[in-house]
Amino acid sequence: MTVRHHPEEDLLLAYAAGRLDPAITLIVATHLSFCAQCRALATLGDKIGGTLLEDLPPVALAEDALARTMSRLGQPQAVISPAPPEDGTPPPLRAYLGRSLADVRWRRMGPRLAYAMLYRRGPLAMRLLRGASGSDVGRHTHRGAEFTLVLQGGYSDETGSYGPGDFQTAAADLTHNPVADPGEDCINLAVTIGGLRFPSPVQTLVARLLGF
């Protein structure tokens, strides 16, 4: 398996520095399970950060530091782990789900598409998406950035083709219509910041009713 599409270096370095939202942290860590190249870069960033920390003087914790730490319990957590196991569920995602992908409970949104909501905080949402061979969600843009990681199968859109381990960053101004590849179902992990924009009012209404 060859990973062809990767997160931008700035995103990997922000991951190593611990500066990402928990959902984006999880999707990056899950990509690292597939990609030795990005694991190496993230590890390098972590080592550089550790070296810089050693040179900093001690700083007193804020009074609400413990409360803020406790509030993060239950949010997506991620650890770099190489190689998905035989069932295809990457270790960081399995740790968050508490189960394998085979045991996910899907919500239907038509005969060929399904999703599972994993996390939502304000405009940011994280979902699993599943599409049968040849299915598509419709041509759309975004209200904010969208990060997509292929877990199984693959899809193609105006920017290229994506297979297991590939990571796509879609800016708000990108107009595209991902179509699932022939063969097995396409399963993706996606993080969106803001909803999707469709040219059809009916599609937009349905997307809002489904939480997209």
DSSP code string of 161-187: EE-TT-EEEE-TT--B--EEPSSSPEE
31/34 Cα distance (integer angstroms): 5
Whether the CB-CB separation of 104 and 89 falls below 8 Å is answered with no
**Which residue ranges form the domains of the chain, and what is each CATH number?**
9-97 (1.10.10), 104-209 (2.60.120.10)
Helix (H) or strand (E) holding 91: helix 91-97
The confidence score (pLDDT) of residue 201 equals 84
Q: Encode pLDDT of 146-196 as tens digits.
A: 999 999 999 999 999 999 999 999 999 899 999 999 999 999 999 999 988
C-alpha 78/C-alpha 60 separation (Å) is 27
Which pLDDT value is given to residue 46? 64
Edge-to-edge strand ranges of the sheet holding 113-121: 107-108, 113-121, 124-131, 186-193, 146-152, 167-170
Q: What is residue 101's DSSP assignment? A: G
Place of tokens 């991902």: 178
pLDDT of residue 168: 98
Q: What pLDDT is attached to residue 72? A: 57
Tell the burial category of 11 from Cβ atoms under 10 Å away from its Cβ (0-12, 13-18, 19+): buried
Tell me the average confidence (pLDDT) per consecutive run of 10 residues in the chain, 212 residues long. 92 91 96 94 69 52 62 53 64 94 93 95 95 94 95 96 97 94 96 90 83 84
pTM attached to this predicted model: 0.81
Helix (H, G, I), strand (E, B) or coil at 95: helix
What pLDDT does residue 52 have?
Answer: 41
What was the pLDDT predicted at 86? 60
In a 10 Å sphere around its CB, with 0-12 CB exposed, 13-18 middle and 19+ buried, how is residue 183 labelled? exposed
- For residue 47, the model assigns a pLDDT of 61
